[in-house]
Structure 1
Amino acid sequence: MRILSTRAQAFTAALLLSTASTAYAQEAPAAAVDAADAAAFDEAGGIVVTARNREEDINDVPIPITVLSGDTVAQQRVFTIADLTQRAPGLTATTPNARRTGVSLRGIGKTSGNDNMEAAVGTIVDDVFLGHVGMTYQDFTDLQQVEILRGPQGTLLGKNTSLGVIKYTTKAPTFDPEGTLELEKGFTRKAFKARGSYSAGIVEDLLAFRASFFLDKQDGDILNVNPARGGRWHERNRWGGRVQLLFKPADNFSVKINADSAETNENSNTKPWIVDPAKLDDGSVRGTTFSTRLARSYFGGYTPIIGSTTTIDMDQAEPLITRNSGVSLVADWDAGPVQIKSISAYRKLHFDAKNDSEQTRFAIARGGTLVDSEQLSQELRVSGDLTDALHIQAGLYLFKIDTETTSRNLFGRDAGAFYATNGQYNTLNTATNLPFLRASLENVFSTTYQNPVSKSQAVFAQGDWKLTERLAVTGGLRYTWEQKDSITTRGATFIDGRALVSAGNATADAIRSAQLGAAYTDVLGTPIRDGSFSWLINPSYKLADDVLLYASASGGGKSGAVAFLNDGTRANVLPERTTDFELGVKGAFFDNVLQLNVNLYHTKVRDYQNVTSFADAASPTGFSSRLGNVPALRARGVEVDGHLRVSDALSFNFGGAYNDAIYTDWSTATCPRNVPSSTPVCNNTGKQIVGAPKWNVILGFNYDQPIGDSGFTLRLFANDTWRSSHNLEQLLSPYGFQKGYHLTDAGIGVSKELNGVETEFSIVAKNLFDTQYTTSVNDFSNTAPVGYDGVGPRRYVGALLRVKY
């Protein structure tokens, strides 16, 4: 894979030099924001955050936080979770589709492709916790700001999260009219994007509304050369909207109704094949592989595409559909001595994948998962000052999520010739027996159904006690009681009667049985009824009015999961427990010229929940996947976020992280597939965690300068993110390494305000130097090569027209 062009290296070197005077020897974020957006600042010039459910200056909050303002999000086109990872040190994500989305902080917390599993890094949108990772797979627009909080946050924010929270806040309805409209046209490929919002009062000082929408259409990076299903894949084709109503009958009471819906319908379900090894580490020949199966005479000398990230050849995949929608009702009452807030919410996710399982032009297999998930939540908070020195927040949180997931496989007329062993193929590949070879799997439809249901009830309280003018301590406690159940069914049917012609042919029946496995009906999982505590002790000391020294010790975790093996055997997953220690300093220096935030951390996780694979002789691929526990891991390191305002026109942002994240106990791991089966287990203790770059550096600038007396303003920005090499394969296969790489976004434009309307025209670029990379790797199996499941988007350049008033 190509890492960085000469132009990119020159650009990055210049950027490093330009910020060297401020990024020197500093390490670690506790909070940062692009100061170009005044909306993120209070009257004194401080950055305002709501990390503790109330507006505070960021330098008064003893939590490691990264902040992006709404204007920064809009200007730099930071609309997805993947975009956000380029702005927040230590945040990584893989987003090949909604169900396989995984988000981590400090290398810990990814979830991928298992609907029984809770996210360790939570996402909260307008005070509503998103219970399924697929609910984050959308464009987030019309934002006030985004906050990334590191460390366990369960004593205050939504559902318990063991490693951190991404907190989105959308812009609220206003009584004064305001609106924006953005139109964007792509240069490097066919693309059209539009975003807009409008807010105004309906009844003066009583009822207001806000409506927003987005449309994101863009040709893909990958060319499908199959004449039957050609065109560009890995595309964007998504849209959505949000409507809010604000009812404010009194200054101290308001009710807000918030309804949103988003949909994607994209030819994006691809993972290019990269390499299909012929030998294992000991030099032994693998035998039957993906390549040798397709080399059989049945396939007429077909050569599959292996080794390209830009070209595929497949005909069975259908567009991948994801729908997210929800509604919430938020009531705020300032009762004088206390403030009361109620958040009632309902959300729904629909996901429908129909993938070409082997990604060829033959009718071998179409597979994919259908997911329908619904959640209900109710949160009630009470807060207030018990004394001048003691502020208390307490609450009750109720949550339920019900998910139905059906894994589906539809086999085609060529499936028998592909999945047969060499002996089975040789027996049936004759003029007489060829119909049996085809009928062995043709039109067989197999499904595995699961219905995990999770309920939780929690009480929480957190207090901020100001011991002196400079010394304070925050303490929090949460108790959560959870009930989890699940049921599973597995079976297969014939779509029509043609496959029945193979009945009685032992070889054809054996081919079918090997693919379908054992059937089972309505297996009830072992239920979970469990309670857990989360806690926080967080002292802080004001070294100066704008400089805060803080420390914290906290604990949290995730409850276990009701799970099954591939044969229906009950195999529950243990609860995950996290202990975290932080030591940081944050502050504004030289009259807010420099914002600097440094944080040291040490995070330990026991019984880390992770999707892993294991050797399974009964599986057609030789391996099976399951949700399990890694005994122990830890991450420790240093993070830095900062912002330097050189002048009214020019500012720099910088950040970075050094993350020493290792498995401290994983001595009995399943070996990657390059290791011969004679080696039963591998010792991964001491190895860097999957998907955890040791180094991460973020550098950028923003420049806004009036052009003489013309009334025009020149606007420039750039942001470069570098991650060091890391392994992305879940069992640490040598084929899973991603080399270090840079991603650079940039833009240039002019704006002018006339009669209260600001108009801006700009050219924006994402991945300016066309870096090729992936965020997820699947190891090879008996029926598939190594696949890049998270190929990053290639260079995009577009023209943007924005009108704002």
Structure 2
Amino acid sequence: MRSHHMKHWLGLVTALSSGVALNVPAFAQDASGGSGSAERDLEEVVVTARNRSELLQEVPIPISVVSGATLDRDRTFTVAELSQRAPGLTATTPNARRSGISIRGIGKTSGNDNMEPAVGVIVDDVFLGHVGMTYQDFTDLERVEILRGPQGTLLGKNTSLGAIKYTSRAPSFSPETKLELEGGLSTESYKARGSYSNALVDDLLAFRASGFYDNQEGDIENVANGGHWHERNRYGGRVQFLLQPSSTLSVKLNLDGAFTDENSNTKPFMVDPTTLNDGSVRATTYTTRLARDYFGGYTPIIGSWDKIELDMARPLITDNYGASAVVTWNAGPVELTSITAARWFHFDAKNDQEQTRFAIARSGTLVDTRQISQEFRLAGDINDRIDYQTGIYLFNIDTDTTSRNTYGADAGAFYASDSQYRTLNTVAGRQLLQASLRDVFSVTNQQPVSDSAAVFGQVNWHLTERASLTLGLRQTWEYKTNEVYRRTTLLNGSSLVSTGNATADAIRAAQAGADYGVIEGQRIKDDSIAWLINPSFQLTDDVLVYASASAGEKSGAVAFDNNGGIANVEPEKSLNFEAGVKSQLFENLLTLNVNVYYTRVRDYQNVTSEPDPTSPTGFSSRLGNIPEIRAVGTEFDAAVRVTENFQITAGGAYNEAEYTHWSTATCPRSFPSTVAVCNNTGRQIVGAPRWTGIVGFDYQLPLASGFGAHFFGNHVYRSRHNLEQLLSPYGEQSGYSLTDLGAGITHETDSAKYELSIVAKNAFDTQYTTSVNDFSNSAPVGYDGIGPRRYVGVILRSSF
């Protein structure tokens, strides 16, 4: 029976090969690291996608798996880097708060703390409730699983489009030491990672401690002060304790933290259009503002990938830390699991708003988020053919988020309208220009709070030896509140007083906006159901076919418009159909997994810009709902052994993701103001390339006396796609490829293994972005998600 086959392979869960490639099972290897002739077939991979240990090839879900060894080898530590290893996964990470993760082009978020992620990220069984919690280096991992399609019946809150599941390496009762040091050849960098595990009390208590330090000089020169931005300066660690008082009871305690303090929040300005799409001339632009004689003939930097000018920006600070306790008790007929967790997220951005040498404006958001969760699971067998999981999940998250704007002495001359500037462009008037906004400090604060509770269950019914049916159901209850206020003062905290001039006061009022006291949002009290029907059939021992129908819901948000008005967002509802084949062919020398899907999402939540006559730019950005989108496509994962020491892996996706109903979209800013509504129905959705292809290789060359050579690489291609929220023509990202290459020398003894490697990330120095901000009357088009440039590093790694 399949259960007997499962037991035979469970021991592999901690033995994933160092040769595993991007997203499929590794090739079995002998103890020397070479490929034994008796073990030429592909190694089975164990996953926990359904909260239990199962063979990847026997789980009827489209899953890509990347082993910890591959993550280490390819220097894949962030979500953005992970997106180069799995088809269908994309990520935008200009900073923590504006991070966005999508599967099949659906699910990105963008800089709004009321919005919850639709692609759930789960780390060691703990759901991360704020997308900013994913902005960190994930290291010392056993594996990462990327699950495509709704996963809500088991994996829970807001996984209606898919999930990423991280699993850390567990404590060991025998000594285990790993250490690696890295230095940059192309860029100044100093990096280190390490871990140590051992028993504190034999057969009772073990621990594992790991840490990392990542410092890399930025690849964008700040001409204002000679420094470099787009850098990495981060560190963190994890400590785990594993208590096993008996063979049936285990307790794992986790404490972790990841911290950044880096000049990284960059947005190079790329183009400042002089005309609109009807040929009409833009009267006031970013460039024309800076061409005013107040600024002395200054020319801003526009169109450069490697230079920027920042005067008022400060380093970006992001802190992620938390604790969890996982208790597992195998009580014989049932297994009970308790997961108790708390996490904190802190974010502090102080950006140079207009990116010049002048004291014009600094903006940024301060965010503090806390979440606590409790999950109880019960799993067991009803009889020989039916097994189940059931449980309850409790979750609370509250956030304090403050948007801040600080204005300098030159702000009035920049933000004044043309007529206002002409009125005050005199010797005496320039003092009023400066007084209009100098030291003005404006804040808008929101405090969203969410409580949710859920009960869930999933049953696997093995109808025959080869046919199975999985049924799942989850009921969730949500209660959400929020409040907002806006206040404008001087930097010293004193109240604003009139400048004594109506024109100067008007400049201030237009930029700072009107104050208002605390406004209570419209509370949400709602419930939703997620369900799954998932039949599968084992055609042969090596071929599984499956299908599924499922639905999920992402909760709504208590939100406000730009002036504090009520603007709640409706829940997002997804319906998904899948069919696929998982196969191991030619005596397990080839693994080929293929699936097709149809996903429909109604009331798709997205940050949208809407006309707003009270806004200085003429637009305001807020959460909203797009009536309907649809994604239809196919994906595949494959691996093949070419020789005993050479393997090739591949993955790909074709994704037709379109707005099926968005006939009243706000037009991009390239349209004249007289055209306020555009029909985006039928257009490919934001951030969704139609074609994605991934190919990798791994070649191990045994040498004499325990030495060996290692060569590896990974190449990803994404076709053309639009990255601007309203599908502006300036948001087009051309198709591009990214290539990582590496080579190393290894030496292995009976007790230790050493490796000296050289790795090139983005080896051909491709220029690309993952996020675009459209222009306004005070800013050009900005590429705020530019990818890292070529990096070449040398790594010395040891394990013993």
Distance in 2, Cα, partners of 1:44 & 1:579 = 34
| Distance (Å, rounded) in 2 between the aligned partners of 1:394 and 1:296 | 67
- Output the CA distance in 2 between the equivalents of 1:700 and 1:415: 51
Rounded to whole Å, the distance in 1 between the matches of 2:694 and 2:23 is: 14
Give RMSD over aligned pairs: 1.7
**Does the CA contact (< 8 Å) of 1:30 and 1:63 recur in 2?**
no
CA contact (8 A) 2:628 2:659 kept: yes
1:656 aligned residue (646, 652, 656): 652
Matches of 2:103 and 2:25, distance apart in 1: 18
> Does 1:787 find its partner at 2:782?
yes
Matched, 1:186 2:184: yes
The separation in 1 between residues aligned to 2:749 and 2:590, in whole angstroms, is: 33
| C-alpha distance in structure 2 between counterparts of 1:757 and 1:332, whole Å | 33
Partner secondary structure for residue 440 of structure 1: helix
Give deviations 1:121-178, integer Å, cap 9, x for gaps: 0100000000000000000000000000001111111424110000000000000000
TM-score by length of 1: 0.94
CA shift at 1:554, angstroms?
0.1
Asked if residue 568 in structure 1 is aligned to residue 564 in structure 2, the reply is yes
Q: Distance between the aligned counterparts of 2:634 and 2:769, measured in 1?
A: 25
Verify the 8 A CA contact 2:92 2:99 in the aligned structure 1.
yes
Alpha-carbon contact 2:311-2:357 (below 8 Å) kept: yes
In 2, the alpha carbon distance for the partners of 1:115 and 1:501 equals: 32
Counterparts of residues 109-120 of structure 1 (less than 5 Å): 109-120=107-118
Asked if the contact 2:28–2:43 (Cα under 8 Å) also holds between the matched residues in 1, the reply is: no
Counterpart residue type for residue 210 of structure 1: R
Which residue does the alignment assign to 1:528? 524
Deviates more, 1:641-650 or 1:764-773: 641-650
Distance 1:38 1:793, change over 3 A: farther
Which residue, out of 115, 131, 134, partners 1:133? 131
For residues 321 and 361 of structure 1, do their structure 2 counterparts lie closer, same or farther at Cα, with a shift above 3 Å needed? same
Aligned with 2:665: secondary structure?
coil
Does structure 2 conserve the Cα–Cα contact (< 8 Å) formed by 1:233 and 1:268?
yes
Partners in 2 of 1:156 and 1:643 — Cα distance? 29
Q: What does residue 419 of structure 1 align with?
A: 415
Residue equivalent to 1:718: 713
State which of 475, 480, 500 in structure 2 corresponds to 1:504: 500
Structure 1: stretches of 5+ with no match in the other structure: 1-28
Which residue, out of 629, 632, 641, partners 2:628?
632
The answer for the alignment partner of 2:671 in structure 1 is 675
Does the CA contact (< 8 Å) of 1:442 and 1:498 recur in 2? Answer: no
Q: Superposed, which structure 2 residues align to 1:247-266 within 5 Å?
A: 247-266=243-262
Aligned residue in 2 for 1:164: 162
In the alignment, structure 1 residue 746 sits paired with structure 2 residue 741: yes
Aligned to 2:67: 69
Question: Conserved in 2, the CA contact under 8 Å of 1:440 and 1:499?
Answer: no
1:403 correspondence with 2:406: no
1:142 is aligned with what amino acid? D
CA drift at 1:35 = 3.9
Instruction: Flag the 1:358–1:35 CA change in 2: closer, same or farther, 3 A.
Output: farther
Contact 2:26 2:44 in 1 (8 A): no
Q: Matches of 2:467 and 2:494 in 1, distance apart?
A: 78
8 Å contact 2:25–2:43 — kept in the other structure? Answer: no
Q: Could you tell me which residue of structure 1 aligns to residue 751 of structure 2?
A: 756
- Aligned residue for 1:363, secondary structure, equals coil
Give per-residue Cα distances to partners, 1:176-222, cap 9 Å, x unaligned: 00010000000001001100000000000000000000010000110
Provide the rounded CA distance (Å) in 2 between the counterparts of 1:501 and 1:181: 60
Could you tell me which amino acid in structure 2 is paired with residue 772 of structure 1?
Answer: Q
Segments ≥4 residues shifted beyond 6 Å? 36-44, 497-501
Task: Give the alignment partner of residue 196 of structure 2, picking from 191, 195, 198.
Answer: 198
Instruction: State the one-letter code of the partner of 1:47.
Output: V
- AA aligned to 2:473 is L
Change (3 A) 1:486 1:499: closer
1:56 and 2:54 aligned: yes
Q: 2:538 is aligned with what amino acid? A: K
Whichever residue aligns with residue 169 of structure 1, its letter is: T
* Matches of 2:23 and 2:212, distance apart in 1: 29
Contact 1:722 1:743 in 2 (8 A): yes
Equivalent position to 2:209, from 200, 211, 222 = 211
**Map of 1:732 onto structure 2:** 727
Unaligned runs of 5+ in 2: 1-20, 34-38
Mapping of 1:585-604 within 5 angstroms?
585-604=581-600
Instruction: Give the CA deviation at 1:282.
Output: 1.0
2:226 to 227, 230, 235: 230
CA distance in 1, matches of 2:585, 2:123: 32
Cα distance change on mapping 1:434 and 1:37 into 2, 3 Å:
farther
* Partner of residue 286, structure 1: 282
Q: What is the TM-score when the length of structure 2 is the normalising length?
A: 0.95
Per the TM alignment, residue 269 of structure 1 is displaced from its structure 2 partner at its CA by 1.4
Q: Give the direction of change, closer, same or farther, for the CA distance of 1:431–1:497 in structure 2 (3 Å limit).
A: farther
Alignment of 1:323-472 (within 5 A): 323-472=319-468
Taking the aligned partners of 2:332 and 2:42, their CA distance within structure 1 comes to: 26
> What is the aligned partner in structure 1 of residue 619 from structure 2?
623
Per-residue deviation, residues 667-704 of structure 1 (Å, max 9, x unmatched): 00000000111112000000000000000000110111
Relative CO higher for 1 or 2, CA cutoff 8 Å, sep ≥ 6? 1
- Alignment of 1:274 onto 2:266: no
Matched, 1:776 2:774: no
Q: Which residue of the other structure, out of 116, 119, 135, is the alignment partner of 1:121?
A: 119
Q: Partners in 2 of 1:165 and 1:715 — Cα distance?
A: 32
SS in structure 2 at match of 1:242: strand
Q: Which amino acid aligns with 1:269?
A: N
Counterpart amino acid of 1:653? Answer: T
Check conservation: 1:458, 1:481, Cα contact below 8 A.
Answer: yes
**1:743/1:385 Cα in 2 relative to 1: closer, same or farther (>3 Å)?**
same
1:22 match: none
Residues 464-507 of structure 1: CA deviation (Å, up to 9, x unaligned): 00000111000000000000000000110012499968522101
What amino acid is the match of 1:159? K
Amino acid at match of 2:724: E
